[in-house]
């Protein structure tokens, strides 16, 4: 069983469309994340949820909206897609932060989004 | 200031040789965790090794070891006996105290030469 699974793996769409990426983790973690990795491989945090509560909300266009129906799921919805949204989007999860604890972050396989 | 700095955009190593990938970090927290991830060309992010700030011993996982120098705020990854399959991007990351955010470096692209 995949620990962090995200779908779809590839997403090709036209400018202006709306799309969603889904993420699920079966690790029992409290915290989930969305990252964007651009063509230069820079990993940029976008959002993080802890037990369905938004805790990290970096400066991203409000066309991006995360939704966490429960602590095992964190979906990303993108409205009015633009060329610059083309990137690889990673979902990740970790246990909630505890001082001194290992709290490894595990990643999904990534979703390669291409906006034409 | 950057939380994580990786100064080597690209590195080459001969197969079976050891290689060190550099990472320095910046934090005022006494408690923090340091992580290394591998991203092969297939794209997934694979956790390699962890070092806690209070750990007295350097972390080791198989051929991977972390050279942790707290006073210098460095957490270099050492890969021994390099294999062709080690060719990948390598990211250093840090998590501070009880914070939920992970800070990533810009990565080092490692190429293992046969």
pLDDT tens column, A42-71: 999 999 998 888 888 888 899 999 999 999
Cα(A90)–Cα(A5) distance, rounded to whole angstroms?
10
Q: Tens digit of pLDDT for each residue in B15-26?
A: 999 999 999 999
Pairing of strands A19-25, A73-78: antiparallel
3-state secondary structure of B19: strand
Range 11-30 of A in CB contact (< 8 A) with B: none
User: Distance, in angstroms, between B55 CA and closest chain A CA?
Assistant: 9
- Does the pLDDT value for residue A100 go beyond 70? no
Q: Token pair of B3, please?
A: 């939380």
The token pair that represents B86 in the structure block: 């080690």
Q: What is the C-alpha separation between A47 and B107, in angstroms, rounded?
A: 21
Measured in angstroms, the CA of A17 and the nearest CA of chain B are apart by 25
- Beta strands A4-7 and B46-52: pairing type? unpaired
**Exposure string for B52-75, b = 16+ CB within 10 A, e = fewer:** bbeeeeebeeeebbbbbeeeeebb
pLDDT at A101: 62
CB contact under 8 A, A110 and B52: no
Q: Are B105 and B77 in contact (CB under 8 A)?
A: no
**Which of A104, A110, A112 should one mutate to test binding to chain B, selecting the residue with the greatest count of B CBs within 10 A?**
A104
Nearest CA in chain A to B104: A43
Rounded distance, CA A47 to CA A15, Å? Answer: 23
Range in A9-13, A96-100, A103-107, B39-43 with the lowest mean pLDDT: A96-100
Instruction: Look at A55 and B91 and tell me if their CB atoms are within 8 Å.
Output: no
Residues 6+ apart with CB under 8 A from A15: A81, A82, A83, A115, A116
Question: Which of A33, A43, A55 is the closest to B91 by Cβ?
Answer: A43
pLDDT tens digits along B58-111: 999 999 999 999 999 999 999 999 999 999 999 999 998 777 889 999 999 999
For residue A84, report the phi and psi dihedrals to the nearest 5 degrees. -70, -5
Q: What is the DSSP string of B58-100?
A: PPEETTEEEEEETTTTEEEEEE-S--GGG-EEEEEEEEETT--
**Angle (CA) A56 A61 A67, round 5°:** 50
Q: Which of A50, A102, A109 sits opposite B44 (nearest CB)?
A: A109
pLDDT of residue B90: 98
The helix, strand and coil proportions of chain B, stated in percent and rounded to the nearest 5, come to: 5, 50, 45
| β-strand partners of A107 | A92
């Amino acid at each position: 069983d995949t620990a962090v699974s995200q779908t779809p793996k590839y997403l090709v769409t036209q400018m202006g469309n709306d799309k969603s990426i889904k993420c699920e983790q079966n690790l029992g973690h409290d915290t989930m994340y969305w990252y964007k990795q651009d063509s230069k491989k820079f990993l940029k945090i976008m959002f993080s949820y802890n037990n369905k509560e938004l805790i990290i909300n970096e400066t991203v266009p409000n066309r991006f909206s995360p939704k966490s129906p429960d602590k095992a799921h964190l979906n990303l919805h993108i409205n009015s897609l633009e060329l610059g949204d083309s990137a690889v989007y990673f979902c990740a999860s970790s246990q909630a932060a505890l001082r001194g604890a290992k709290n490894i972050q595990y990643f999904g396989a990534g979703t390669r989004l291409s906006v034409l | 200031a950057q939380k994580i700095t990786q100064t080597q955009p690209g590195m080459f190593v001969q197969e079976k040789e050891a290689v060190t990938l550099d990472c320095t970090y910046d934090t005022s927290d006494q408690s923090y965790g340091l992580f290394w991830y591998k991203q092969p060309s297939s794209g997934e992010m694979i956790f390699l090794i962890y070092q806690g700030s209070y750990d007295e011993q350097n972390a080791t996982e198989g051929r991977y070891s972390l050279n942790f120098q707290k006073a210098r705020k460095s957490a270099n990854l050492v890969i021994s006996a390099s294999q062709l399959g080690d060719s990948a991007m390598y990211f250093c990351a840090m998590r501070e105290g009880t914070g939920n955010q992970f800070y990533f470096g810009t990565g080092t692209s490692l190429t293992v030469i046969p």
